Amino acid sequence: MARYTQYTVQIDAAFVADARKAYGAETDEQGIQAAVEDAAKRLRRQEFSDAIKSGEIHFMPDVPSGPGQEASAA
């Protein structure tokens, strides 16, 4: 469930207009919300990608190395 917090911030009107245009938002609030969500999702994707590249996360299943050998429990 999403938690929402209300903030009062000053944002350059040109940036808000650009965000509205970029995300097809009808209101300033929708444009700002879309821009913040996009930035957070980009960061999470980058962190996930970095974790895969570093070997912290991997998707290769443990495969037996020979006949009669079981996969490791790691």
pLDDT tens readout for residues 36-60: 999 999 999 999 999 999 989 887 7
The tokens 């009107």 sit on which residue? 13
- Is there a domain that residue 34 lies in? yes
How far apart, in whole angstroms, are the C-alpha atoms of residue 47 and residue 14? Answer: 30
Q: Is 15 helix (H, G, I), strand (E, B) or coil?
A: helix
Q: Is residue 43 part of a domain?
A: yes
Give how many domains the chain has, as a whole number: 1
Which range, of 4-8, 39-43, 67-71, averages the lowest pLDDT?
Answer: 67-71
Residue with tokens 């079981």: 70
19 belongs to a structural domain: yes
Is residue 38 in some structural domain? yes
Q: Are 19 and 34 in contact (CB under 8 A)?
A: yes
The answer to whether 24 and 33 have CB atoms below 8 angstroms apart is no
Q: Name the residue range of residue 26's domain.
A: 13-54
